[in-house]
Copies of this chain bind each other. A is one copy, B any other.
Amino acid sequence: MARQNSTGSLADVSRRAGVSVATASRVLNGSTHPVSEHTRRRVLRAAEELGYSPSALARALVTKRSRIIGVVVGDIVDPYFAEITRGVEDVAARAGYMTIVCNADRRTEAELAQLQLLSDYRAEGVVFAGSGYVEDPLGEELADAVRRARVRGMEVVSVALRDFDCPRIHGDNRAAAHDMTEYLISLGHRRIAFIGGPPGLYASRDRFEGFRDAMLTAGIDPELVHEGDFGYDRGYSATERMVADGELPDAVIGANDATAIGALGALRKARVAVPERVSVAGMTDTRLARFSDMTTVGLPIYDFGASAARRIVGEGADQPSETVLPHRVVARSTTARRS
């Protein structure tokens, strides 16, 4: 394998143009330093002829600005993260930054490794897209790593609840779940089942608590609670079980859209009418929900990413260190008034 991969250097260009590298550099990088029109043209032409393109690596090395933003996600394939990533990408690209997406499989250990890698590349900023774990054994270590990274000048921002210190842009999971639950209750449902997220995640906990509190407030015992993992399958199997056990609820809430769609799948399979017999709702309003015309609670996740990126590229330095973006219940066809 030829691992050459260079376009010729500034030295080549300057030689060809008959000027110094300094001068070549000045014209080729939009420096404000004055350069005569004549010289400028010569340099530009030389660069053109050589097909020169500057090495972002070398440039980053000396300027100490890599123009790299990292996004650490739980799983790229999850539309929730894809949407956040898209938000980051869009503003990053506009500001001339590269976005590096790193998968962490929802494991803190992997997050640690990705942070290290990003740090090796001297990323200027990293956004943590996934939620953290309650009492994470690796929590302290990650917090330390983040602290060190920030001391070194790296901008860190999270778009979920995390146990390390950094600016945060997120939604209110508890309130969102609360509102969804209230909505269902307002529709006349009483036996409402909740299929949660991965155990230990703050997001899971908060969404569950929002559900529980709303139920309690309405004087209903929140007894139908199942564990999930933000995946379709667990939503499906949990619902399948309810069907099999003959304890069909009035409604089921999935801790995220994929889970709720799993529930929808199991109900369809069992030929239980939705929403006539049971209502189904998800959370976060990813495309999945829209595609299934499913009721959910919308969170501005694209904006989570976009705002985070803005902070990093320096357009949001004036923002408060904690920003909570609003959610709203999006009623669609999988929920209806209790018959």
Contact = CB atoms under 8 A, between A and B. Distances in A.
A82 B86 contact: no
Given A1-B314, A57-B66, A86-B76, A6 B122 contact: yes
A244 interface: no
Nearest to A82: B77
Interface stretch (A11-19, A47-55, A128-136, A171-179): A47-55
Interface string A74-112: 011101001101100110010000111111000000000
A51 B148 contact: yes
Contact of A232 (B90, B116, B265, B291): B291
Contacts of A120: 53-56
Contact of A61 (B2, B57, B83, B268): B57
Given A57-B66, A77-B82, A100-B100, 13 more contacts: A1-B153, A4-B152, A5-B124, A6-B122, A56-B117, A56-B121, A79-B79, A85-B101, A100-B101, A265-B291, A288-B288, A288-B291, A292-B292
A318 to B, nearest CB: 12
Contact of A4 (B56, B61, B64, B77): B64
B89 A85 contact: no
Contact of A89 (B7, B58, B76): B76
Interface residues on chain A, size class: 35 or more
A154 interface: yes
A60 interface: yes
B154 A5 contact: yes
Contacts of A99: 100-102
A173 to B, nearest CB: 22
Which of the listed residues A232, A288, A291 has the most CB atoms from chain B within 10 Å of its own CB? A291
A33 interface: no
Given A117-B98, A120-B54, A85 B79 contact: no
A10 interface: no
A61 B53 contact: no
Contact of A57 (B60, B85, B86, B317): B60
A177 to B, nearest CB: 22
Nearest to A288: B291
A263 to B, nearest CB: 11
Contacts of A98: 100, 102, 117, 121
A38 interface: no
A261 interface: yes
A252 interface: no
Contacts of A82: 76-77, 79, 82
A317 B1 contact: yes
Contacts of A25: none
A65 B100 contact: no
27 contacts: A1-B153, A1-B155, A1-B317, A3-B64, A3-B124, A3-B153, A5-B122, A5-B124, A5-B152, A6-B153, A7-B152, A53-B116, A54-B120, A55-B120, A61-B61, A76-B82, A77-B82, A79-B79, A86-B103, A90-B103, A93-B102, A98-B121, A99-B100, A232-B287, A232-B290, A288-B291, A291-B292
A82 B85 CA distance: 11
A258 interface: yes
